Structure 1
Amino acid sequence: MNTPADDHRSYWIDTAPPGPLHPPLESDLTVDVAVVGGGIAGLSTAWELARAGRRVAVLEADRIAAGVTGHTTAKLSVLHTLVYARLRRTRGPEAAKLYARSQTEAVRHAAEIVDELGIDCDWEDTAAFTYARDPAATEELKAEADAAREAGLPAEYVTETGLPFPVAGAVRVTEQAQFHPRKYLLALAEDLVRQGAVIHERTRVVDLDEGRPCTLRTAGGATVRADDVVVATHYPVFDRALLFTRLSPRRELVLTAPIPAGLDPHGMFITPEQGTRSVRTAPYEDGQRLLIVTGEHFTPGTGEVEARFERLAGWATEHFGDLVFTHRWATQDNDSTDSVPLVGPLHAGAQHTYVATGFGGWGMSGGIMAGRLLAQQITGRKSAWSDLYDPRRIRTVVGEAPAFLKNQAKVARHFVGDRLASAAGGSVDDIAPGDGAVVRVGGHRCAVHRDEDGELHAVSARCTHLGCLVAFNSAERTWECPCHGSRFTPDGDIVQGPAVRPLEKRDI
């Protein structure tokens, strides 16, 4: 692949201004609302609440707009692969209409914010497509086009697209958009601070006491008291409702390469075939376009990631010619068992705690929608689609059952099977430079990485979230939990939650 082997930086992070450094929280704080998480859902929620006159604090474990949101493909679309036919079937036509309305309003609201704040974020209006190359999938596509149209979207079934290869069929929805997510969110954060809100980066929240007020505690020892708390950490770091039983984490790989403007397919395209293939472009230097290709979804901690990058690169070059890849990275998403995000009260008894999660790869429109919905709930207003997204919903349990059982079976395999496999694992001597493995050392399972200089780094192999065994991702040099998606550096520091504590170091 024509890209540096160690380059895993997102194009969005590389090409946006670094933004101001927001200081870590070092002393106790009292606000009206504390938002945990500085991605698109958290910042959108905070912005809406500040506009409503609330005193808001955003607490981010790393840097704002640099986590999941900083590694997205940044499509602002209401066409979420094949969601409308499923919603019509499992929750009825009215649910599909509410989903379409809520997502449409989110896309329009983003456009309004861009205009109001004058944000330069490479905004482009375009169409979205869900396509298939297999003729056997055309009936499913026609059903999706019909369901999306019935839900009120400008959807149609087509057989031709701007892609450089024929398709069997596609659903097309016009009046969608694509943008630079980090430029958008840094501008949103700047306006948020202008309104009197505070943002604290490098501030990991590790504990939550619910009450009036709620109390948050950080890894640095500071305390935040707030009338209301929003947990917008992608995968909830506090899960009083056992939402992890209804969420399935997955990673997808992303490649970018400049192409001549004449090769631009003009649209945002996705297919569930081949483990997902997604294509869009963005403005690039010298009049070129930047091709952004996504796919090869897999569960964190499983599979040969480097081989997946090679497959994705091969697919891109097969269809778009000889490419020089400039960036590669991976994005992580959480799928809910019924394909609808979980946005609302954190659990059945919650009065002042809220959550936003389970966006299933569509976090741009979903995060903006969540910000508006949660702000309405916290300020005492009722949204027409509160029930649709309510995390406490039980009416879809029967419809969720197959996905729920599949998810729990996968987790059970890792809880039990990985432990049995590691019991007969290899030794430290078998670990090559740049690689890692879970091995037994002195009767204990250790996650051991050998760096390029031959030095060993050993940590506990048990994820600090719920105790699953981690596995090594040699392409990204991370330990990953296949159960719930937590990720750690070779030395055990947290890269991504829901874990809030690092892996313990081991002396070997």
Structure 2
Amino acid sequence: MWTDRPDSPDQTPNPDLFPEDDRFDDVVVGAGITGLTVGLLLARAGRRVGVVEARRMGSGTTGRTTGKLSLLQGIRLSQILGAQSHHVAQAYVDANREGQQWLLGFCTEHDVPVQTRDAVTYASADSELAKVREEHEAARSLGLDVRWADRLDVPFPLAGATVLADQVQFDPMDVLGALAAQLRSHGGTVHEGRRVMGVSVRGTPEITLDDGRVLGAENVVLATGVPTLDRGLYFAKVEPKRSYLLAFEGVEIPPGMYLSAASSSRSIRGVPGDATSAPRLLVGGAGHVVGRTESELSRVHELREWTARYFDGAVETHTWSAQDYASHDGIPFVGKLPRGGGRIHLATGYDKWGLTNGVAAARSIAGQILGSTPSWAKVLGRRITRPSGAARIAGLNGGVGLAAARSLARAESSTARVPAAEGAGTVGRDGLLPVGASRVEGRTCRVVALCTHLGGTLRWNDAEKSWDCPLHGSRFSASGEVLEGPATKALARRDASREA
């Protein structure tokens, strides 16, 4: 929805020119909230900065987010306190507060429209009240001025809620556009449609692009959702999660930003109307680990049915999904990548709260490079997780082996036939190889259904019409192009005429 508007640029990458010597002080990989913010902070300091984006600015998580800039984040704070000390949890809140304040100040300075709203974490049934009460107490203990509400004037079930006033929502593409404009005004460049394939460190980093071009830099920042380099094994330290968003017109929109504490959450906010569009209701949630659900489309239908039940007359205008990564203890990984010579930096593990965490990560990384690391970043970088607490938050890719085994078993049980139904995809065998066959918009495709990252057997995503890896969350289009990392290489194609 965020890119579907009359003033939206077309989808053809519009890259800036590379410098004649192909050298930068800093190369940032990824043009989302983290990449563009850290790029701007470094460019403001007088450094020569280039941001390299494989597709379009905002084509990853940031351009698909709900656009909530909030310190109340569902039941995140109570979960963190279950895995970490109060000192670490306070540093997390301080980091998010600084990220929120910096971004809100930036929006004010550069005339980016924002709306102030109450953020609400609510129980949709009595069985969820204990979790919401725990979050309420956790937020109070960490300095957030939350209030308890037994009832709120909303059309959906609400058994109780904790409420934090004066939080913010906005259109994320407005923010990215302003960040990119300011980056360029300070001498930085943005290179869209250029995928980074690898980084080597021989004294100073060298960055290889998909066309063979090699860039030199003093520092590299990986702001790619999950690092596309395997040093440090971060692909195994975070869990890839996918969730869904639908936009509707024709209904009265509740005044706040809401997130339920249910296992299958509901996220609700409004989008103000303008000269070209009516006000819209956003309904999100129904998340799952990437590649590990029987039908992604059933998750979309779940949200549709919920909206029809509580918002009579809602007319759907847009449907999309987003992917983000959760760390094992609720705290993002931000810092220097192991075996990177101290010159490769990473940020991952925002668990769908990237607008505050992404800016905080950018502040931390820019501080490391410029010699002024924030105090809260030092605390978060030294945290030690309680094993029992970590289990409450994420399973560290738990069930990966079972998911892969089931996927491979499906592949072994059938021949790779192109399905007759439009929008369908199947995994079968072609000799010794698992092969994915699909039919999308009348076009048939066959690809080797092995993830180019670590060889996981792929499964078909019936909502996004993509091939998803249940191991580490890489995703590919029906014809094999990379959509999400950590994979960087496309799938091998098979001759579509060889239908069995």
TM-score range normalised by the length of the shorter chain: over 0.9
Structure 1 residues 374 and 399, CA gap change in structure 2 (3 angstroms) = farther
> What is the aligned partner in structure 2 of residue 147 from structure 1?
138
| Aligned residue number for residue 103 of structure 1 | 96
Kept in 2: contact 1:16–1:182 (CA 8 A) = no
- The CA distance in 1 between the partners of 2:476 and 2:117, in whole Å, is 37
Query: 1:45-444 to 2 correspondence within 5 Å?
Result: 45-119=38-112, 122-260=113-251, 263-273=252-262, 275-285=264-274, 288-301=278-291, 302-347=293-338, 350-390=341-381, 393=382, 395-396=384-385, 398-399=387-388, 402=391, 406-428=395-417, 431-444=420-433
What SS does structure 1 have at the residue aligned with 2:158?
A: coil
- Corresponding letter in the other structure for 1:319: Y
Match of 1:470 in 2: 458
Q: With the length of structure 2 as denominator, give the TM-score of the two structures.
A: 0.93
Worse-matched range after superposition: 22-31 or 346-355: 22-31
Task: Output the CA distance in 1 between the equivalents of 2:263 and 2:82.
Answer: 25
Shift in alpha-carbon separation, 1:168–1:237, aligned structure 2, 3 A: same
Q: CA deviation at 1:404?
A: 8.9
Deviations 1:305-343 (A, max 9, x none): 222222211101211111111111011111111111111
Alignment size in residue pairs: 492
**How much has 1:405 moved relative to structure 2?**
8.4
User: 2:418–2:439: 8 Å Cα contact kept in structure 1?
Assistant: no
1:13-39 alpha-carbon deviations (Å, 9 max, x no partner): 546531882247597611111100001
2:2, 2:173 within 8 Å by CA — same for their partners in 1? no
- State the identity %: 32
Q: What SS does structure 1 have at the residue aligned with 2:363?
A: helix
1:443 CA displacement:
3.3
Equivalent of residue 475 in structure 2, options 481, 487, 490: 487
| Contact in 2 for aligned 1:305/1:475 (Cα 8 Å) | yes
**Shift in alpha-carbon separation, 1:422–1:93, aligned structure 2, 3 A:** same
Structure 1 residues not aligned, in runs of 5+: 1-9
Alignment correspondent of 1:34: 27
In the alignment, the residues of structure 2 paired with residue 242 and residue 271 of structure 1 have an alpha-carbon distance, to the nearest angstrom, of 32
Per-residue CA deviations over 1:26-64 (Å, capped at 9, x if unaligned) read 976111111000011110110111112211110000111
CA distance in structure 2 between the aligned counterparts of 1:86 and 1:274, rounded to whole angstroms: 13
CA distance in 2, matches of 1:319, 1:25: 52
RMSD (CA atoms): 2.2
**CA gap 1:403/1:13 in 2 versus in 1, 3 angstroms:** farther
- Larger mean CA deviation between 278-287 and 99-108 belongs to 278-287
Query: What secondary structure, in the 3-state scheme, does the structure 1 residue paired with 2:395 have?
Result: helix
Give the match's secondary structure for 1:210: strand
C-alpha separation in 1, matches of 2:388 and 2:35: 29
Change (3 A) 1:90 1:400: closer
Change over 3 Å in CA distance of 1:388–1:243 after alignment to 2: farther
Q: Is the contact made by 2:98 and 2:360 (CA closer than 8 Å) also made in structure 1?
A: yes
Normalising by structure 1, what TM-score?
A: 0.91
Query: After alignment, is 440-449 or 496-505 more displaced?
Result: 440-449
1:21: which partner in 2?
Answer: 14
1:239–1:444 CA distance, 2 compared to 1 (3 A): closer
- Structure 2 unmatched ranges of 5 or more: none
| 2: CA distance, partners of 1:244 / 1:37 | 17
- Give the C-alpha shift of residue 200 in structure 1: 0.6
Alpha-carbon separation, structure 2, partners of 1:468 and 1:474: 18
Rounded Cα–Cα distance in structure 2 between residues aligned with 1:350 and 1:134: 51
Instruction: Answer yes or no: is the 8 Å Cα contact 2:2–2:171 preserved in 1.
Output: no
Q: Aligned-pair distance for 1:345?
A: 1.2
Work out the CA distance in 1 between the residues paired with 2:81 and 2:392: 17
- Deviating more after overlay: 58-67 vs 415-424: 415-424
